[in-house]
Structure formats: C-alpha cells, structure tokens
Amino acid sequence: MDTLGKRLMQARGNSGLTQAAVAEKLNVSSQAVSLWERGETTPDIVKLPEIATLYGVTTDWLLKGKEPDEDLVNVTKMLSDRLFDEKRMYTHVKSYAQALNMLQTLRILPYIREKHEGQFRKGKDKVPYIYHPLLLACHALSLGMKDDNLVSAALLHDVCEDCGVLVEDLPVNDETREAVRLLTKNKTVTESSEAGLAAYYEEISKNRIASIVKLLDRCNNISGMAAAFTEKRMAQYIQETEKYIYPIMETTSNRFPEYANQIFLIKYHMISVIEAIRHDLARNLK
C-alpha cells in the first residue's frame, strides 16, 4: 500500500541521505524520521515543504503519491479574485448570525457595508472590497467557528486601516475591539520595517481571535494573489508568510487547541497553494 511513510522512505533513499543526515538537516531527531517512514507518526505539515525541497520532490507527491496536475498548477494564473458573489455571502453570514443569535455580527454587517462603500480589491477586476471580509467570515463559519467576537473581528479587520475609523469608535465589545486593534497596522509597521513586522506578528500571536483572523486573512490573500500580485511581490509574500505566519499557525494551535483541527485545514490549504505557486515561479525562471 502506497503511504506517506513509504514515499518518505523512497524519497530519502533516492536522495542518498541517511536518516541521521535528514534529521540533522531538518533539525529533528533520527527517531522522528524513522517513525515517519514507518507510518507511526507524520511530520508536521509546516515541515513538508522543507522535506520536499530536501528530497527534490513536491509536496503533492509526498501527500498524494502523484505530481500536481498541470492544470491545477496553473490554476492560480487563471483565478479571478471574484470566486464568490458578495451579495450571497452577505446573506449567508446574516442568516447564520440570525440562527445562532450572533447579535454583534448582525450589527456589524451593515456597518462594514457602509464603511467599505466605493472601495475595491486590487486586481484587474473591480471587485467590491467588502468581498474580502465577507469571505473571511464565511471561511470561519464553514470551519465551525461560531464565535460572535471572532466573526465580527473578521468582518472588521480592515476597517480601521482602510476606512479611517478609530479603534475606540468601533461599535463592538472590548474583546473584539482589542483583536481589531492588534490586526490594524499602524504607521510604524511597514513592509520595509523588519522590527515593526516582527513586533506586529508577535502581538497578534498572543491573542486568540487576532491569530485566527490573521490566518484566515493570509489564507485568503495567498489564494488570490496570483490574480493581483507581480511575480516579485508573490515571492516576497511567500517569504513573509513562511517567516511570520507559519509560526503563528504553530503557536495558535498549541495555545488554543480547540482550534487545532481548523488550523490544520488552513495550513494544508495555504501550503498547497504556496507550493503550486512556487513551482510555477521556479519554472518561469528557467
């Protein structure tokens, strides 16, 4: 039977590396490598891209036993930023909130529609900006995250930064307000400020709601970046994701185990898209 463990053993054998050598390069124990190959444990999904690179294979082959379909590899080039209709998403979130008595979410929906009025997402298509926070809310609900504060923060996460709203003026409770404050980049947090970014992500990692919303936000942006980013910007965004977002996934999963299953799904989606885009970028450089 073709399993992840057998593929790991096969890939290591083809690479000519010993278990001890692999353990040293991956900064794990030889026993861990042995357990992976015997199928008794599996490597953390965040480690898979590193393992794939070390063995000269793809994560798709490790996980599924086959190379990514060419059409799937190129799908990010063809993706429009508009995967779903924002009016239907608005109705879906509203209906869900009504059924679960999520009063804050119900109050926030018309608020964000008003604040993001006339704003559009980056890209060739003029997609209303509200599409983005609504997609985050739908993503959270589809993963079973029925927390009124979390969904509200997902809907509001860009309002202060993009609409000139002060955090203290948000019509929400203190828990949601604090999460939005952490998610809002101030003037000292810029892409050119390494220290600022590090501090920004460190503070987010300590807050349950801010951490989850940031992961959903990055997952959404990663999924649609091929439609809006240049190749150089995509490469930079992937680097930033690996440096700051992967650790947040690990930290959040440990600190808030009630979200471990959802974070695993977010990890898998994000890493799969990144590996497909990385493959495409590498091919374009040849």
AA identity, residue 246: Y
| pLDDT at res. 72 | 39
Is it the case that residue 181 has pLDDT exceeding 50?
A: yes
pLDDT at res. 225: 86
pLDDT digits (tens, 9 = 90+) for 12-28: 999 899 999 999 988 88
Task: List, for residues 231-259, the tens digit of each pLDDT value.
Answer: 899 999 999 999 999 999 999 999 999 99
Q: Which of 92, 89, 113, 132 is nearest to 227 (CA)?
A: 132
Cα of 139 vs its chain's centroid, Å: 11
If residue 24 lies in a helix (H) or strand (E), which one and from where to where? helix 19-26
Give the CB-side neighbour count of residue 203, counting CA atoms within 13 A.
15
Tell me if 161 sits within 8 A of 184, measured CB to CB: yes
In angstroms, the Cα distances linking 166 to 149, 153, 156 are 18, 14, 12
- Euclidean distance between CA atoms 280 and 263, whole angstroms: 26
- Mean per-residue pLDDT of the chain: 86
Check residue 192 and give its pLDDT: 53
User: Tens digits of per-residue pLDDT, 43-71?
Assistant: 876 677 788 888 888 877 887 776 654 44
For residue 76, pLDDT beyond 60: no
Domains assigned to the chain: 4-67 (1.10.260.40), 86-285 (1.10.3210.10)
